Amino acid sequence: MEQTIEQLLKLVKVKMSSHNEYKELYNSKLAFDFNILNFFNVGENKISEFLAFLLDPNSDHGQGYKFLDLFVLQFLSGKGIDPGSFKHVKCEKILPSERRIDLWLEFDSFVLAIENKIWADDQKNQLFDYSKYLEEQTHGKYQLLYLTPYGVEPSLNSISKLEREGLLNVKKLKLISYEYDIIGFLNSCVGLCEAGSVTYFIKEVVKFIQRKIYRDNQLNMANVLKEIILSNKDEVYEIVNVYNQLTNGLVKQLNDVGEAIGKKSINVLPGVNYKYIRPFNYDSRRVFKVELETRGQKVFVGLNQHGFEIQAHFHFDQKNDNKFNDFISGKYNFKDRTPLNISDNGDLVELKTSKLVEHFVSELMKFDNLLNEFYNKHN
């Protein structure tokens, strides 16, 4: 068995090496990783704006009701909605509670609301509050789409199981995914679109979503690896068992780091606010982070467990001003998602939890100093 597993791993390495060689050989002609959207700060809000652009028949895409007709057919079938009764579409519809619905499409006697969840977490009672507001405003004539990468259910923190099931049963809540629903919709839009520039733009958005959300690219190894796995099930089972043991150990260590930081007294500089966030699961990885805020501008500093790696990670709040993001990025010399437990030659290094806590606090204080500097500069 041990020899067979070694041979299997060698085969996978050979296949992946061939894959990388092919990519390197033709990259100058095909630019596999290029996407024009990489030059812009594209997050959930921008993708919502792009969807709003397509669904507004009065937008500059020049295709009139084509995209809206398709969307209504795909997601509102059976609701009796006439696309011609469209009134307007709005991003970040602000509710009296100060909550924001990502996309709000209003028809003469119907409202479609979309909650776009790619990277952000559900807020407490978020979907419950949305459904309550929609019920009151529309007298029950609404549809709430919960859009995530894989069409997962909203967390119980956002809406209880009983309330969620009730809304699903009466078809006022629908769970949809980027993986099947939105990418399928966008590909259909490509087929309908007559404007070359708009077609190119939609294709770039599809590539961007596949790349950023699913870590996918034009050269996909999935089919090759699937064939190898199906031909070597017993060996793969043993590999997966060992892999799970290693990753579970890293998940526990990250939880321990989060718990240790939670118990620490973190003293930040004047003008900076600190918020501890408990470890949580996100996109098949364990995540721990804290929030630093000054003048309404936020940066999140954290650790990710991703496969065999524990990665240092930071990101900005989507509502930040560009001048704040540029200020921090320009002064903080750090490569995002840097693996802390991998040596320079690629070997896995065992780090003590105390060492990870020490490293995390050290990086946190660097951000604290930068936010304090920004605060004083704009005081």
The region that residue 139 occupies, defined by phi over 0 for left and psi between -120 and 50 for alpha, beta otherwise, is: left
At residue 138, the pLDDT reads 92
E strand residue ranges, 125-253:
142-148, 173-177
pTM above 0.85, yes or no: no
DSSP SS3 for 350: coil
The answer to whether the beta carbons of residues 111 and 131 sit under 8 Å apart is no
Helices H, strands E: what count in the chain?
11, 10
Nearest alpha carbon to residue 371 among 324, 303, 335: 324
- Which residue type sits at 167? L
Residues of the chain with confidence (pLDDT) below 50 = 216-219
At residue 30, the pLDDT reads 53
At residue 219, the pLDDT reads 47
DSSP SS3 for 335: coil
Nearest alpha carbon to residue 76 among 44, 110, 116, 48: 110
Q: What is the pLDDT of residues 176-190, one digit of tens each?
A: 998 889 999 999 999
Distances (CA, A) of 251 to 213, 241, 302, 310: 22, 15, 14, 9
DSSP secondary structure of 102-138: EEEEEETTEEEEEEE-SSSPPPTTHHHHHHHHHHHHH
At residue 255, the pLDDT reads 92
Could you give the CA distance from residue 292 to residue 155 in angstroms, rounded to a whole number? 25
Could you give the CA distance from residue 222 to residue 52 in angstroms, rounded to a whole number? 33
At residue 218, the pLDDT reads 46
- Token pair, residue 317, equals 């709040």
The answer to whether the beta carbons of residues 359 and 340 sit under 8 Å apart is yes
Q: How many CB atoms lie under 10 A from the CB of residue 250? A: 20
Could you give the CA distance from residue 66 to residue 62 in angstroms, rounded to a whole number? 10
Mean pLDDT computed over every residue of the chain: 85
At residue 357, the pLDDT reads 92
- Which residue type sits at 349? V
Q: Give me the helices (H) in 281-352, please.
A: 322-331
Q: What is the pLDDT of residues 99-133, one digit of tens each?
A: 899 999 999 999 999 999 887 778 889 999 999 99
At residue 378, the pLDDT reads 82
